[in-house]
Amino acid sequence: MTKIKPSQGAPYARIMGVGGYRPVRVVPNEVILEKIDSSDEWIRSRSGIATRHWASPEETVAAMSVEAAGKAIADAGIRPEQIGAVIVSTVSHFKQTPAIATEIADKLGTGKPAAFDISAGCAGFGYGLTLAKGMIIDGSAEYALVIGVERLSDLTDLEDRKTAFLFGDGAGAVVVGPAKEPAIGPTVWGSEGDKSETIKQTVAWDEFRIGDVTQLPVDADGEVKFPAITQEGQAVFRWAVFEMAKVAKEALDAAGISADDLDVFIPHQANMRIIDSMVKTLKLPEHVTVARDVETTGNTSAASIPLAMERLLATGEAKSGDTALVIGFGAGLVYAATVVTLP
């Protein structure tokens, strides 16, 4: 039997650089209240959200990704052509094929890297980070670019009182490269498909082609509604608070550290109440910096963790070398948690 040559990758992988992009337009709760019967106080008390960013027609999924990725590459101190893989996590790129990652890779001037999209909702950044880590250690790429990007304003039903205020747009990116010491811990990830109906798209795309349009949802003017994201808020809240705290603890255990060893906690920015409940359940010490980017950015799904990471580092609330626990969770239901050293 012929022996296959072993992989020649790095012993470990690390996040080398981070970048983010938030659309120019800032949307306060007052704009959301034009379509739903609610109040600014109710939205803030239920979600912690005061504002979010919505993209203009020019701020496409690709354009936002290129901006965020360019910053991450510069922060990592490498050249675009050194990127061997581009992984894009998104649920709001509306072309089934080709992958938006190929367009982004070309616009960045990366040469001919592996490029593909993944769909893992709000856990997508963690999924992409895990794949990138494997590539670096395997030797199939020297540097990998992981992008989380969403235009969730395109998938928001502004008449849905349960979700109209939740979602925002943006892109976050990191460069993953070789390391001499462990800097990305084991990933604790998984799925609970029996709960897939708790967060979902309202109408399948093919129903617009073959379905009876009289069965499709309509707005107040009788016009057929574009597909949107809907969720069972209470069910998702309970799952996130109780089950994801367990996953976060498993990630700490897998990395061989305790909550006392943490410097930073960066959970998916879904809801301030979920974040605060997880902090309490995990019994995080007061010295741990907690990302609460959701207040001004809203829920940006796959983009939320790298955007929050970028802001913490930019403001000095977190610093290079800090130990951070990151956890994403959402539609699927899927989740991914790991401990990382910040770039």
d(CA 223, CA 264): 46
> 């909702």: which residue's tokens?
121
Task: Clarify whether residues 117 and 190 are in a common domain.
Answer: no
Q: Provide the pLDDT for residue 136.
A: 98
Q: Is 267 helix (H, G, I), strand (E, B) or coil?
A: strand
Q: Residue 338 falls within a domain, yes or no?
A: yes
**How many residues does this entry show for the chain?**
343
Cβ-in-10-Å burial (0-12, 13-18, 19+) of 2 comes to exposed
Task: Clarify whether residues 152 and 192 are in a common domain.
Answer: no
Q: What residue type is assigned to position 340 of the chain?
A: V
| Radius of gyration of the chain from its Cα atoms, rounded to whole angstroms | 20
Task: Clarify whether residues 149 and 36 are in a common domain.
Answer: yes
- Domains in the chain, number: 2
Q: Residue 213 falls within a domain, yes or no?
A: no
Task: Clarify whether residues 158 and 303 are in a common domain.
Answer: no
Q: Provide the pLDDT for residue 226.
A: 81
Q: Residue 114 falls within a domain, yes or no?
A: yes
Q: Residue 3 falls within a domain, yes or no?
A: no
Q: Residue 74 falls within a domain, yes or no?
A: yes
Task: Clarify whether residues 119 and 256 are in a common domain.
Answer: no
Q: Which two tokens stand for residue 334?
A: 């899927």
Q: Which residue from 98, 83, 91 is spatially nearest to 146, judged by alpha carbons?
A: 83
Task: Clarify whether residues 234 and 173 are in a common domain.
Answer: no
d(CA 146, CA 124): 10
What is the chain's pLDDT, residue by residue, as a tens digit (343 residues)?
Answer: 888 887 788 899 999 999 999 999 999 999 999 999 999 999 999 999 999 999 999 999 999 999 999 999 999 999 999 999 999 999 999 998 999 999 999 999 999 999 999 999 999 999 999 999 999 999 999 999 999 999 999 999 999 999 999 999 999 999 999 999 999 999 999 999 999 999 998 888 877 776 566 567 776 677 777 888 888 888 998 999 999 999 999 999 999 999 999 999 999 999 999 999 999 999 999 999 999 999 999 999 999 999 999 999 999 999 999 999 999 999 989 999 999 999 9
Domain, as residue range, for 112: 12-181
Task: Clarify whether residues 136 and 177 are in a common domain.
Answer: yes
CATH of the domain at 121: 3.40.47.10
Task: Clarify whether residues 324 and 252 are in a common domain.
Answer: yes
Q: Is 327 helix (H, G, I), strand (E, B) or coil?
A: strand
Q: Catalytic site residues?
A: 122, 268, 299
Q: Residue 1 falls within a domain, yes or no?
A: no
| Angle of CA points 307, 308, 313, to nearest 5° | 100
